Amino acid sequence: MSVSTDELISEITGIVAEELGVPIDSVSPEADLRSVQGADSVKVLRVIARIERARDVELEDEEVFGASTVREVAEVLQRALTESAAV
Amino acid sequence: MLAGSADNLTDALETVVAADSELQLSFPSAGRDISVHDLAAASRAAAVALVGRGVEGGDRIGVLSRNSPEFLIALFAAVGAGAAACPLPLPTSAGDLSGYASRLSGIIAAAGIGRVLVDDRLGAVASRLAGVLTGVELIPVGSIAAGVAATAGRSARLPAVEPDELAVVQFTSGSTAAPKGVRLTHRNVLAGLDAIATGIDIRPGEDSGGLWLPLFHDMGLFGTLAGTFAGIDMAVWSPGAFVKDPARWLRQFADRGATISPAPSFGYETLAESIPRDEVGRYDLSRWRVALNGAEPIPVAGLDGFLEHFAPAGFAPSAMMPVYGMAEATLAVTFPPLGRAPTALWVDRDRLGAGGVAVEVARDDRRARGLPALGRPVRAVRVRVVDEHGKEVADREVGEIEIAGDPITAGYLTAPGAPPAPGPDPDGWLGTGDLGFQRAGELYVTGRRKEMIIVRGVNFYPEDAESVIRDAPGLHRRRCVAFADTSADGAERITVVGESALEDPADRARLAADLCTAVSVELGLPDVIVHLVGPDDLPRTSSGKFQRLAARELTRQAAGRDA
């Protein structure tokens, strides 16, 4: 089963908006997550944790450190999903 | 402490191995464990390899590792080879590689680091750093240890290490531009670890410890070593595992039957927020005997909230121990007595400044500020409070806290050209930069003399905020001042005041929001306040320097008018 990056982006955008308490349309795929009102490094990690639970994957800390936008997180997630599907 | 009579960290570890070679260090988030026997053997092999690569006594070796066995192997390998280990921070937030790289190169310059021992499994981070850290040799610690045959490791000679040689250089303090490394000798570290073990009466066979702080943080590193050297099993989770799912961490901590955990106040508050009230009863926290709470200012409400929230899980109020410490003391300075629930003093906040005095008021008084009692000096540490002339003040009088004794650093390492960072005076007293008072032998911390804030155990410096925004378009002649400040509810934050010639209120609001975001993102700091003033409004000294304290006063007056 493969998932498109666009699907992951909209899923992650929903989680970001809910976790940070902001409207969905205020979260653009290219915006730096930490610049979203109310976000800090702890809340961003919480977002990642929710994505992990929703998709049942574990993202490597170093991969996550390298991602700062919704699109980048989606790309990290997609790689992880592809790898876990290949096992 | 088991390792009490050792001269250096290597001998101390050997003493622990001799007492119980199967004592464990567990790393649940990494899914790995190591016995002290295997830790000592791998460290020795890696030390032999380092000597073979030309490492000499007095060298400083960086340690870059997640919370995994490799961190400790690297640390003991460096000191076994006669060098000092310099724990290096890992990036803490997403996408901050450029700020991170400049902090790292500042540390490397200040410590004169030529080699960095790297966690073999660090993967992506290490490969990204290779391009950034030129002139530094990155050495995978696991593979050099494995490259030395066990027999060769045992028979090779390693340098004799004297107690007054440097063991650890801890870079917890100092701004990005001017990092400060706390120099700690083997004598300092062993005395400091002994003080912790004694202060909480660690008992082999009965206790075990668990923590999630990064090992590159002083509380993570010395908290872990204090337990191991006292002969108890330790479990070290990753910081990410705790932050992502605090409830899962607590369940694992309780399931291990762990009895001791150090964390900053933020950690305890996070646990209370993360576990719904109706689920608390499903946890059994009755074995938790010591919850050390330090590394940042401790709000009384956070202490009370935790105790009340976790009472149904059997958490004993006397287990919560608000403490005072810092890297300069190899961690512990004062601990409250064991077996006492936290107590606080309510004092008049308006009379607490430097030169002030602690005047008790009713808890519900409008001016009441609650200060947790932080206990008495731990073994081998002395504490005094002095006025601005260095003269000791009376009980209840506010002054700078000074510390002395075997665990206290002899001073700092700073980069060439950086502002000097004075060490202890000739009598051995080190100014902490913290303000406080003593009452009936117990210490209370009221604030800070130095310009810095601590959030979640991490130090932040106003000058770093200034350098983030100084070049922002819209600022008048790069003029801005940042300073440490406290919000109405007592949280520490950074406030930035910038001059701007913009006239349109919407433009000014947009500029303020942009500056606020830039500082938050670059420093990884949640709470930043930005004020804009007109051109030439910022107070300056006769030499043209901006005055932080005067700027702070200006914004306070402005806030008073707005209110």
B336 domain residue, yes or no? no
CATH number, domain of A58, equals 1.10.1200.10
**Residues 446 through 465 of chain B touching chain A, CB cutoff 8 Å:** 456
pTM: 0.86
* CATH, residue B109: 3.40.50.12780
Which of A16, A42, A69 to substitute to test the interface with B, most B CBs within 10 Å? A42
For residues B409 and B488, state if they share a domain.
no
Is residue B3 one of the residues assigned to a domain? no
**Minimal Cβ distance to B521: which of A34, A64, A66:** A34
pLDDT at B563: 35
Range of B441's domain? 343-448
Check if the beta carbon of residue B459 is closer than 8 Å to that of residue B173.
yes
Residue B89 forms contact with A (CB below 8 Å): no
Whether residue B310 sits in one domain with residue B178 = no
SS3 B559: helix
Quote the pLDDT of residue B351.
87
Number of structural domains, chain A? 1
Q: A87 lies in a domain?
A: no
B66 touches chain A (CB under 8 A): yes
Q: First and final CA of chain B: distance in angstroms? A: 56
One domain, residues B419 and B302? no
In a structure prediction context, what are the per-residue pLDDT tens digits for chain B, which is 563 residues long?
666 679 999 999 999 999 999 999 999 999 999 999 999 999 999 999 999 999 999 999 999 999 999 999 999 999 999 999 999 988 765 456 677 788 888 899 999 999 999 998 887 677 777 777 778 999 999 889 888 876 666 677 899 999 999 999 999 766 777 789 999 999 999 999 999 999 999 999 999 999 999 999 999 999 999 999 999 999 999 988 898 889 999 999 999 999 999 999 989 999 999 999 999 999 999 999 999 999 888 889 999 999 999 999 999 999 999 999 999 999 999 999 999 999 999 999 888 866 789 999 999 998 888 999 999 999 999 999 999 899 999 999 999 999 999 999 999 999 888 878 889 999 999 999 899 999 999 999 998 776 778 887 777 888 888 888 888 888 988 888 888 877 776 778 888 899 999 989 899 999 999 898 888 877 778 788 898 988 888 877 655 566 676 777 777 766 654 43
Inspect the interface and report whether the beta carbons of A63 and B97 lie closer than 8 Å: no
Q: Residue B526: its chain A contacts at CB < 8 A? A: 40, 42
Residue A58 in contact with partner chain B when CB distance is under 8 A: no
Q: Which residues of B touch A48 (CB under 8 A)?
A: 244
Same domain, B261 and B355: no
Q: Do B244 and A48 touch (CB under 8 A)?
A: yes
Domain of residue A19: give its range: 5-81
Query: Bridge partners of B261?
Result: B291
Within its chain, how far is the Cα of B27 from the centroid?
Answer: 20
Is there a contact between B97 and A52 if contact means CB atoms under 8 Å apart? no
DSSP H/E element including B72 = helix B69-80
> Quick one: CA torsion of B219, B242, B87, B328, rounded to 10 degrees?
-20
- H runs (alpha helix) in B81-185: 97-111, 124-132, 141-146, 150-155
Q: How far is the CA of B502 from the CAs of B452, B517, B535, in angstroms?
A: 30, 19, 9
CA separation for the pair B349, B359 (Å, rounded):
9
Q: Is residue B333 part of a domain?
A: no
pLDDT at B560: 54
B93: nearest CA in chain A? A41
Domain count, chain B: 4
Q: Is A61 on the interface with B (CB under 8 A)?
A: yes
**Nearest chain A Cα distance for residue B279, angstroms:** 20
Question: Which one of B238, B456, B524 has the shortest CB-CB distance to A61?
Answer: B238
Per-residue DSSP letters for B305-317?
HHHHHHGGGT--G
Q: Is residue B334 part of a domain?
A: no
Count the helix, strand and coil residues of chain A and give each as a percent rounded to the nearest 5: 70, 0, 30
Same domain, yes or no: B34 and B168: yes
Task: Look up residue B418 and give its two tokens.
Answer: 């950086």
> B1 lies in a domain?
no
Q: Which regions in chain A score pLDDT beneath 70?
A: 1-2, 34, 36-41, 61-62, 65-66, 86-87
Residue A52 lies in a domain: yes
User: Is residue B79 domain-shared with residue B182, that is, in the same domain?
Assistant: yes
Q: DSSP assignment, residue B397?
A: B
Nearest to A68 among B94, B245, B520 (CB): B94
End-of-domain residue from the set B185, B212, B236? B236
- B210 in Cβ contact with B234 (< 8 Å): yes
Q: Do B231 and B252 fall into the same domain?
A: no
Chain B CB contacts of A41 below 8 Å: 92-94, 524
Tokens for A48?
């990642």
Residue A70 in domain = yes
Asked whether residue B220 is assigned to any structural domain, the reply reads yes
**Is the Cβ pair A49, B93 closer than 8 Å?**
no
- Given A32, A34, A42, which is nearest B243 (Cβ)? A42
Q: Is residue A25 part of a domain?
A: yes
Neighbours of B425 (CB within 10 A): 12
- Do residue B275 and residue B152 come from a single domain? no
Which run of H or of E encompasses B531?
strand B528-533
Same domain, B147 and B211: yes
Residues B77 and B43 sit within 8 Å (Cβ to Cβ): yes
What is the distance between the alpha carbons of residues B483 and B480, in angstroms, rounded to a whole number? Answer: 10
Cα B275–chain centre separation: 26
Query: CA B102 to CA B175: how far, in whole Å?
Result: 11
Query: Is B337 within the bounds of a domain?
Result: no
- CA-nearest of B502, B448, B500 to B469 is B500
Nearest to B176 by CA among B462, B471, B517, B417: B462
Q: Are B428 and B384 in contact (CB under 8 A)?
A: no
Q: At what angle do helices B218-229 and B186-199 cross, to 10 degrees?
A: 70
The answer on B204 and B125 residing in a single domain is yes
Are residues B224 and B257 located together in one domain of the fold? no
Question: Which ranges of B134-181 does DSSP label H, i.e. alpha helix?
Answer: 141-146, 150-155
Q: In angstroms, what separates the C-alpha of A75 from chain B's closest C-alpha?
A: 14
- Predicted confidence at residue B319, as pLDDT, reads 98
Binary contact (A49, B521; C-beta < 8 A): no
Q: Does B244 touch chain A (CB under 8 A)?
A: yes
Q: Does A64 touch chain B (CB under 8 A)?
A: yes
- Say if B148 falls within a structural domain: yes
Among B426, B448, B470, the domain-final residue is B448
Does B123 sit within 8 Å of A45, measured CB to CB?
no
Domain match, B265 and B212 both: no
**Which CATH number do you get for residue B410?**
2.30.38.10
In a domain, A86, yes or no: no
Within a domain: residue A72?
yes
